[in-house]
Amino acid sequence: MDRRSKYSINVIKESFLDLLVDNDFNSITITKICEKADVNRTTFYKYFIDIYDLLEKVQLDFINELKGTPKKEKYTVSSFADELLEVFIKNQKLVKILFETNNNIFFLEGVLDVAYNKCKEVWTLQNSSLNEQDIEDASVFIFNGALGIINAWVRNDFDRDYHEIAQIIESLSYYGIKPFIEKK
């Protein structure tokens, strides 16, 4: 892909995200995106089928970036969460929009899929007697709690350092709520 195409795609995506900050998804039109991006409709349709395709591609870019985060050989919950949350920080505008869209199942499934696959890999290495159901039960419990913590963090405008959020997720994942609320 040449530089001009990459630029056009990026400016369309950024313009779309900028519009999503102040507008409901259903009120955004291709015309508005093209005006903001300073491109014509032909350029838009060269890269995207419609506004839903644009949203899906923006989400896929983010999910693919998350998939590329596991860079270490050995992980703790905290170090894994740290890497994922660093990607969240780099994409704050998108993350905020996606978390505020209540019915954005595709995005959340993608995030959970990345985390599930990494945990399955690590947990299976640590304990070969774990079966698929054990892994699924543990991951459902941990990920739903972690997603709630991350959701609150995002809705509070990333008000705390992401390392702190990763530590909280690790502490609650390993030790549960009791030591966490009794530590003070």
Single pTM value for the model: 0.74
Of 13-22, 145-154, 168-177, give the lowest mean pLDDT range: 168-177
Are 16 and 28 in contact by the 8 Å Cβ rule? The answer is yes
Q: Which residue's structure tokens are 């795609």?
A: 9
> Which of the 8 DSSP states describes residue 25?
G
Residue-wise pLDDT tens digits, 25-35: 889 999 999 99
76, 123, 134, 153 from 128: Cα distances, Å? 18, 8, 11, 34
Mean pLDDT of 54-79: 78
- For the purposes of burial, counting CB atoms within 10 Å of the CB of 122, is it exposed (0-12), middle (13-18) or buried (19 or more)? middle
**Gyration radius from the chain CA atoms:** 19
Mapped onto helix, strand or coil, the DSSP state of residue 107 is: helix
Mean pLDDT of 96-101: 77
Domains of the chain: 1-48 (1.10.10.60), 58-182 (1.10.357)
